[in-house]
Structure 1
Amino acid sequence: MLRFDPFSDVDALARGLMTGSLAGTQRTPKFMPLDLYKVDDRYMLVADLPGADPGSIDVDVDSGVLTLSAQRSAPSDEGVQWLTSERFSGTYRRQLTLGDGIDPSGITAHYDNGVLTVIIPLAAEARPRKITVEHADRPQAIAARGSD
């Protein structure tokens, strides 16, 4: 038994306004969920890109902005009578501003099982480091110099 949903028309209108398609036929990704965390001397960005075409995935850094994009192709409509179509197709895109202290030349990315992992290393000068404390072999020599 089908139930009446008084809000389905409002939902369809809102989806159309957000995706730019009032006809409701365009299935575009709404977002690219991601996690970002720091481990030792690098940041790890992990983004979900289910069903993305691996060859379409692009990771780009320009003027301190990291851009992630990917394409998910729609299945062919030829000879198909759709009963429901809820899986998104189209272009995923996210941009993040990188702060100071990042080594953009060292950024690497890997895509596996629908998950994009981007490793963003800290620049050498931004990495935590241990400062060596120098000390005199003879403490008396330091005291003698201090009295001059």
Structure 2
Amino acid sequence: ICVYTCIYSMRGVCIYMCIYMYMPVYMCVCVYMCVYMCIYTHIYAYICMYIYIYVYIYIYRYMCLYIHIHIRIYTRIYCVSIHICIHTHIHVYICIHVHTYVYMHTYMYMYTYIHIYMHVYICADIYTYICICVHVCIYMHIYVCV
């Protein structure tokens, strides 16, 4: 476990943390998690956080499971971005990409912006010559201005 912290110009705080977990051979689980947080003291408070999670699971010698989770969180422009990827060593690849954006202002008027994006990608290679790919994309855009 390693934690890296830096403070610069009295405007931001960055925290970087990594966690590694290893198990015996042929059953290895590696968790790699990084948290990056910034706090800015401008006219408006701004907080962002990045979370990276990598999970490697090795079962026997020819089976590998790879999971990647990426989360981004903002407050002023509230943004949640989740990226999940599952990869196996036998050429089966599943990737789910989800974006959610919520933007709000509370000045003389109220401004709301919601953006939801979902991306699903599945690709399977069979015997190296046969490839089956499925691509699903869902896009939703909601715009409200009062």
Is TM (by shorter chain) over 0.5?
A: no
**Which one scores higher on RCO, CA 8 angstroms, separation ≥ 6?**
1
The structure with the greater share of residues assigned to strand is: 2
The structure with the greater share of residues assigned to helix is: 1
TM-score by length of 1: 0.25
Q: Which has the larger radius of gyration?
A: 1
